[in-house]
Chains A and B, each alone.
Chain A
Amino acid sequence: MEAIFSRPKAMSSTITHYCPGCTHGIIHRLIGELLDEYNLKEKTVGVAPVGCAVLAYNYLDVDFIEAAHGRAPAVATGVKRGRPDLFVFTYQGDGDLASIGMGEIIHAANRGEKISVVFVNNAIYGMTGGQMAPTTLPQQVTSTCPQGRDVQTAGFPIRMAELLSSLQTDSFIARVSSHSPRNVIEAKKVLKRAFGYQVSGRCFTLVEFLSTCPTNWGLPPKKATEWLEQNMIPYYPLGIFKTPEEGKVK
Chain B
Amino acid sequence: MAKKLMKGCEALGEAAIQAGCLHFFGYPITPQTEVPEYLSRRLPEVGGVYVQAESEVAASNMIYGCAAAGVRVFTSSSSPGISLMAEAVSYMAGSQLPVVIVNIVRGGPGLGGILPAQSDYWQATRGIGHGDFRVIVLAPSTVQEAADLMIEAFDLADQYRNPVMIIGDGIIGQMMEPVEFKKREKKQLPEKIWAASGAKGRAANKIHSLFLDPVKLEQHNIFLKKKYDEVEKNEQRFELYNTEKPYDLLIVAYGTMARICKTSIALLQEENISIGLARPISLYPYPYKAIQEAARKAKQVLVVELSMGQMIDDVRLAVEGQRPVHFYGRSGGMVPSPEEVCRELKRILAQKT
Q: Please list the residues of chain A having a beta carbon within 8 angstroms of any beta carbon in chain B.
A: 41-45, 47-48, 54-55, 57-58, 61-68, 71, 74-83, 86, 103-104, 106-107, 111
B175 contacts the other chain (CB 8 A)? no
Q: B206, A71: Cβ atoms under 8 Å?
A: no
**Is B341's CB within 8 Å of the partner chain A?**
no
8 Å CB contact of A68 from B59, B71, B91, B197: B91
Inter-chain contact B208/A45, CB cutoff 8 Å = no
Contact A78 B198 (CB under 8 A): no
Taking a contact as CB atoms under 8 Å apart, the answer to whether B25 and A78 are in contact is yes
* Cross-chain contact A42 with B58 (CB below 8 angstroms): no
A-B contact pairs, 14 of them (CB 8 A): A41-B199, A47-B65, A57-B206, A63-B199, A64-B196, A64-B205, A64-B207, A67-B61, A71-B58, A74-B59, A81-B23, A81-B62, A81-B66, A111-B51
- Chain A residue nearest to B209 in the complex (CB): A66
Chain B interface residues toward A at CB < 8 A: 23, 25, 49, 51, 53-55, 57-59, 61-71, 73, 87-88, 91, 95, 195-201, 204-210
How far, in angstroms, from A103 to B195 measured CA to CA in the complex? 27
Say whether, besides A42-B200, A71-B57, A75-B61, A66 and B69 are in contact (CB < 8 Å): no
Complex contact B206–A64 (CB within 8 A): yes
* B196: contacting residue among A55, A58, A65, A81, CB under 8 A: A65
- In the complex, what residues of A have CB within 8 A of residue B201's CB? 42
The dominant DSSP class at the A interface is: helix
Query: What's the least CB distance linking B281 to chain A, in Å?
Result: 30
| Distance A135 CA – B236 CA, assembled complex (angstroms) | 51
A8 to B30, CA, bound (A): 51
Closest CB-CB distance, A218 to chain B, in whole Å? 25
B64 and A82 within 8 A (CB): no
Among B87, B88, B201, chain A packs the most CB atoms within 10 A around the CB of B88
A69: nearest chain-B partner, CB-CB = B87
Contacts of A62 in B (CB 8 A): 199, 204
Q: A82–B66 Cα gap in the complex (Å)?
A: 5
Q: With A66-B207, A77-B25 given, can you name 18 additional A-B contacts, CB distance below 8 Å?
A: A47-B65, A57-B208, A63-B197, A64-B205, A65-B65, A65-B196, A65-B208, A66-B208, A67-B61, A71-B64, A71-B87, A75-B68, A78-B62, A78-B66, A78-B73, A81-B66, A82-B49, A83-B71
Q: Which residues of B contact A77 (CB under 8 A)?
A: 25, 51, 58, 62, 65
A43 to B201, CA, bound (A): 11
- Is the CB–CB distance between B49 and A68 below 8 Å? no
The CA of A43 and the CA of B202, in the complex, are separated in Å by 12
Docked CA distance A61–B67 (Å) = 21
Partner of A103 from B49, B51, B57, B88 at Cβ < 8 Å = B57
B58 touches A65 (CB 8 A): no
Which of B25, B61, B195, B199 is A71 in contact with, Cβ under 8 Å? B61
A61 and B201 alpha carbons, distance in the complex (Å): 13
Across the interface, which residues of B come within 8 angstroms of A57, CB to CB? Answer: 206, 208
Q: Are A79 and B199 in contact (CB under 8 A)?
A: no
A78-B25, A79-B65 known; A44 vs B209 contact (CB < 8 Å)? no
Closest to B210 in A: A66
Whether A107 contacts B54 by the Cβ 8 Å rule is: yes
Interfacial chain A residues near B68, Cβ < 8 Å: 45, 65, 75, 78-79
Residues in B neighbouring A45, C-beta threshold 8 A:
68-69, 196-198
Residues of A within 8 A of B91 (CB): 67-68
Contact B204 A63, beta carbon cutoff 8 Å: yes
Q: Give the complex CA separation of A77 and B71 in angstroms.
A: 13
Select which of A43, A48, A82, A107 is within 8 A of B23 by beta carbon: A82
Which of A58, A63, A103 counts the most B-chain CB atoms under 10 A from its CB?
Answer: A63
Contact A66 B206 (CB under 8 A): yes
Tell me if B199 and A83 are in contact (CB < 8 A).
no
Cα-based distance from A53 to B208 in the complex (angstroms): 13
Taking a contact as CB atoms closer than 8 A, the residue among B54, B55, B65 that contacts A78 in the complex is B65
CA distance A81 to B68 in the complex (A): 12
A82 to B23, CA, bound (A): 7
A78-B73, A81-B66 known; A68 vs B54 contact (CB < 8 Å): no
Most buried by A among B63, B69, B205, B209: B69
Instruction: Give the distance in Å from the alpha carbon of A61 to the alpha carbon of B196 in the complex.
Output: 12
| Measured CA separation A58–B69 after assembly (Å) | 18
Smallest CB gap from A113: residue in B: B51
Closest 6 CB pairs of A and B: A78-B65, A66-B208, A74-B61, A82-B71, A78-B66, A75-B65
How far apart are the CA atoms of A54 and B208 in the complex, in Å? 10
Contacts A77-B51, A82-B49; is A43 near B200 (CB within 8 Å)? yes
Q: How far is the CA of A107 from the CA of B195 in the complex (A)?
A: 26
A75 to B99, alpha carbons, bound, how many Å? 14
Given A65-B68, A78-B25, verify A83-B197 contact (CB < 8 Å).
yes
Indicate if the CB atoms of B65 and A82 lie closer than 8 Å.
yes
A79 close to B205 (CB less than 8 A):
no
